[in-house]
A and B are shown apart, each in its own frame.
Chain A
Amino acid sequence: MAMTATAGRAHADPHHVGSVIEHSGPAPKRIVTAYGFWIFLLSDIVMFSCFFAAYAVLSGQTADGPKGSEIFEQKTVAIETVCLLLSSFTCGMASIAADVRNRLWFYVSMAITCALGLTFLVLEFREFADLIARGYGPSRSAFLTAFFSLVGCHGLHVSAGILWLLTMMAQVYAKGFRADILRRMTCFALFWHALDIVWVAVFSVVYLLGSAP
């Protein structure tokens, strides 16, 4: 062993970064899972922003069809918004209930979240069905294409969220508040809140700005 410990240390820090706080090792599973899901949500928001960009580009291209202000119904959209915002609150309640291992409150909060989500979807579906019935379907103009896709993409996410929500409830029923199920619940809550944030953007960009004649 010709090489001494000192020589070794010289190699250890060849760029003389100096004393630094030592990294303490791999993060616990709970953190890793939530972190990964955050990154997924960010990527999902990138995808949404493409649809927002398309909407911004195409919103003037009505091809002699209706403009936004002619087809948006403020009242329905207001109810939709209230539903979604409230559901975010009840979803938060469900998270707390899961944290304190309270099954009853968990089921109740999740059920209300689900009901609010479904109400939102029904209202959105009716809005779409009504527009299509009037001949203002997505094939009518590029503006309507972008409108249906953006709002519909959010709607699809909400539908997937409800499917997930029901699966979550079934899991808690079958398995109880196990560590892995709590991790999934954290992810679900993040997802649901993110959808809320996206809706706020949809509401502002599409319905508020679009209502101006």
Chain B
Amino acid sequence: MNLLDPQGPVAAGNSTILIDSVFIMLVIVVPTIIAILGFAFWFRASNPRARYRPDFVYSGRVEMVVWSIPALTVILLGGVAWIGSHQLDPAAPVPGTGSPVRIQAVSLDWKWLFIYPDQRIATVNTLTVPVGAELNFHLTSSSVMNTFFIPQLGSMIYTMNGMVTRLNLRADNEGKLQGLSAHFSGDGFPDMMFDVNVVSPLAFPEWVTATAKTDAVLNADSYKKLMQQGIEKGRPVYRLEDPRLFELIATQQIPPGPGPELVSGAGRPHGGGHHAR
């Protein structure tokens, strides 16, 4: 999950900007820290060689410098931020080889549902993608806010009920990565980690075919069962019955997921917590 070990172009862009910005700032931060410690040491009251200059309280030239050093740094970084924001906008296309894979992600209480509308399958807590292809994510939430994040593929994005956010990523190396929710969403939040399997372009259709053979079917009914609060330790897969399911969720035609059941009247619900463990 190391951010500095990117596995795709977006993450590489993110971490390059991160490292560049740190170095730009270190250029002034390190000398400043040294100067603070140096001045403090040299001008200690017990140092007879330091000259006491109580009247050195204003200098136009020094003022000029102290305003321009941070200003120049910020101008430089502002340029980085402006260009970076445009190049790495989550919705910007990330061209890849082969045809793009459309994935609709829904954050549930407390698991991730990934719908492959073109492949007519869906998975929970595991995301399988072909290497090198553009991944078009459409994201929403069944209830509370979450953030979809695969650290080594880059840029995270919020999921919100009744809204659709967009994100494009690409994975450049085969292997197993991990994703998580990066926005606290309740008692089962830490269990919202999911596996990301990056497979070869040939293995991907095979995996799709194998998955589509499952008996479990995802439709509005089974979705409503799935969105009850709870933790999913397994990695269930589904055949997608209605490719418009995501639309129904995002437009709230399937109403938002319910919260915990109130166990005691005194307002200390234990439902969620106990399910979570």
Q: In the complex, A touching B, CB below 8 Å?
A: yes
Task: Enumerate chain A interface residues (CB-CB to B < 8 A).
Answer: 10-11, 14-16
| 8 examples of A-B residue contacts, CB within 8 angstroms | A10-B55, A11-B54, A14-B55, A14-B57, A14-B58, A15-B57, A15-B58, A16-B58
Q: Determine the distance from Cα of A10 to Cα of B55 in the docked complex, in whole angstroms.
A: 8
Q: Determine the distance from Cα of A56 to Cα of B54 in the docked complex, in whole angstroms.
A: 57
Q: Determine the distance from Cα of A11 to Cα of B54 in the docked complex, in whole angstroms.
A: 9
Task: Enumerate chain B interface residues (CB-CB to A < 8 A).
Answer: 54-55, 57-58
**CB closest residue in chain B, given A10:** B55
Secondary structure call for the A interface: loop
CB distance from A98 to the nearest CB of B (A): 50
CB distance from B260 to the nearest CB of A (A): 22
CB distance from A14 to the nearest CB of B (A): 4
Q: Determine the distance from Cα of A15 to Cα of B55 in the docked complex, in whole angstroms.
A: 9
- Neighbouring B residues of A15 by C-beta, 8 Å: 57-58
Q: Which 8 A-B pairs have the closest CB atoms?
A: A14-B57, A15-B58, A15-B57, A10-B55, A14-B55, A14-B58, A11-B54, A16-B58
- Neighbouring A residues of B54 by C-beta, 8 Å: 11
**CB closest residue in chain A, given B56:** A14
Q: Determine the distance from Cα of A97 to Cα of B55 in the docked complex, in whole angstroms.
A: 59
CB distance from A58 to the nearest CB of B (A): 13
**CB closest residue in chain B, given A14:** B57
- Neighbouring B residues of A16 by C-beta, 8 Å: 58
**CB closest residue in chain A, given B57:** A14
CB distance from A33 to the nearest CB of B (A): 38
CB distance from A188 to the nearest CB of B (A): 40
Q: Determine the distance from Cα of A93 to Cα of B250 in the docked complex, in whole angstroms.
A: 58
- Neighbouring B residues of A11 by C-beta, 8 Å: 54
Q: Determine the distance from Cα of A11 to Cα of B55 in the docked complex, in whole angstroms.
A: 8
Q: Determine the distance from Cα of A16 to Cα of B59 in the docked complex, in whole angstroms.
A: 12
Q: Determine the distance from Cα of A8 to Cα of B55 in the docked complex, in whole angstroms.
A: 12
Q: A10-B55, A11-B54, A14-B55 are in contact. List 5 more A-B contacts (CB 8 A).
A: A14-B57, A14-B58, A15-B57, A15-B58, A16-B58
CB distance from A16 to the nearest CB of B (A): 8
**CB closest residue in chain B, given A15:** B58
- Neighbouring A residues of B55 by C-beta, 8 Å: 10, 14
CB distance from A106 to the nearest CB of B (A): 50
